[in-house]
Structures are given as structure tokens and as C-alpha cells.
């Protein structure tokens, strides 16, 4: 059975959605860069091993990345899932896990990379916003996109209301894509996403009905 590791920095709501999805694999560990991350308790309550690699204890990002990679490798994962992990990972780290490192980002990439994505969307006046699951590459939020889910931007939306609807889609989309990967239905080949036939035929963009 395939093994996966989840990286978090905070409450871990996407982590919980992954753990509760009945994925066809074993969650070998949940790792955080913060000892006070609420998601650690949620993982422990589900019987998942946890570890903390505090970035503040390292003199450089390179040293932190090396320690984090060493901790991950102890668990021999087939897949590493970033779930609200709020650290930029260096090129060497990303290349070490290339093809088995996924992230979920709260925007319809390539629009609105980085942080404050809901504010960016509202300021731009877009009609659709959403989330993207992508392979991680050295380019920040620039890796090949596997799947996306969109939500309508409604009149009167603020960051909080829009963010809640996007988060609900994140909780549906990320476990779906993780399942595809663990079942061997999605992979990275020569820098491009390769999907199994039934997934490619069904499409990888979910757009709810707009009233």
C-alpha cells in the first residue's frame, strides 16, 4: 500500500479532509514547521504520527529544507501533500521530491499566486474564483495544474465569505486528486500532467452552477 506524508503550518482543515477521505494509502506522518499548529492534535487524535521541524531553529532556509527532507524520507512516502504549509521550499528540496509533491492553492492558477488570494480576486473584479491542485516546482505556485474547482463571486462578497466557499471546494478537490495519484491515475511526465483516460475524459475542472 502506498504511503503519504502531509505538511501543515496551522489548523490543518485540508489535512483533516484528506485523513477523513478514506484514501487508498497510509498516512505515515503529519509534519509541521510550528509546534503550536492545531492540526497536530487533530492528526494525533486519529492515530497519525506527528513531527515538528521548527524553521526558526535553523540559520538558513537551506538547512531547514534539509532537516525537513530528512524527516520526510524517514517515512518513505510515495506522495507528499502540502496542506496549508506556509513556507517557501527551496529548489533543491522541490527537485528531491519532484513528481510526488502536491499543493493546493486558493485561486484559479495562474491567476493570483502568492498570498491574500481572495483579496486579489475581489480587487480584480473576477466573476469566478476557486482553487487549484498542482505539482510543486521551483516556480512559486507555478507547477503543472492537475485539477481546479471554481466558485462564483457573489455581490456583497468579502474575503471571509468568498474564502469559505473556496475552502469548501478545497476540501472536496484535494482528496479527489490525492486519490487519483495514489491509484496511479495521475503523474508528472516530462514536466506535464498525465491523467488516466477516464479522468481526462471527465474533465478536471468543476464549476458549480451560477444562479
Spatial distance between the Cα atoms of 85 and 12, rounded to a whole number of angstroms? 9
C-beta of residue 176 within 8 angstroms of C-beta of residue 148: no
For the stretch 106-114, contacts whose Cβ atoms lie closer than 8 Å and that sit 24 or more positions apart, written own/partner, are: 106/131, 106/163, 106/166, 106/167, 106/170, 107/131, 107/132, 108/132, 108/148, 108/150, 109/134, 109/141, 109/142, 109/145, 109/148, 110/141, 110/142, 113/140, 113/141, 113/142, 114/140, 114/141
User: Residue 77 carries which DSSP code?
Assistant: -
Q: Which residues are catalytic?
A: 105
Cβ neighbours of residue 197 closer than 8 Å, sequence gap 6 or more:
none
Amino acid at each position: 500500500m502506498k504511503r503519504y506524508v502531509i505538511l501543515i503550518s496551522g489548523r490543518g482543515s485540508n489535512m483533516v479532509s484528506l485523513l477523513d477521505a478514506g484514501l487508498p494509502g497510509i498516512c505515515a506522518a503529519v509534519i509541521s514547521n510550528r509546534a503550536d499548529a492545531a492540526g497536530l492534535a487533530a492528526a494525533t487524535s486519529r492515530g497519525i504520527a506527528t513531527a515538528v521541524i521548527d524553521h526558526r531553529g535553523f540559520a538558513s532556509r537551506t538547512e531547514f529544507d534539509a532537516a525537513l527532507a530528512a524527516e520526510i524520507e524517514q517515512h518513505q512516502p510515495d506522495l507528499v501533500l502540502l496542506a496549508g504549509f506556509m513556507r517557501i521550499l527551496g529548489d533543491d528540496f522541490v527537485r528531491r521530491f519532484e513528481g510526488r509533491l502536491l499543493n493546493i492553492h486558493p485561486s484559479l492558477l495562474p491567476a493570483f499566486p502568492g498570498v491574500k488570494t481572495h483579496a486579489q480576486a475581489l480587487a480584480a473584479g473576477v466573476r469566478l474564483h476557486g482553487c487549484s491542485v498542482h505539482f510543486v516546482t521551483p516556480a512559486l505556485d507555478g507547477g503543472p495544474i492537475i485539477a481546479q474547482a471554481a466558485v462564483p463571486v457573489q455581490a456583497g462578497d468579502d474575503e471571509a465569505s468568498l474564502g469559505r466557499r473556496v475552502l469548501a471546494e478545497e476540501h472536496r478537490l484535494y482528496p479527489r486528486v490525492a486519490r487519483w495519484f495514489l491509484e496511479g491515475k495521475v503523474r508528472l511526465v516530462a514536466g506535464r500532467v498525465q491523467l488516466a483516460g477516464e479522468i481526462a475524459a471527465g474533465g478536471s475542472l468543476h464549476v458549480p452552477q451560477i444562479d
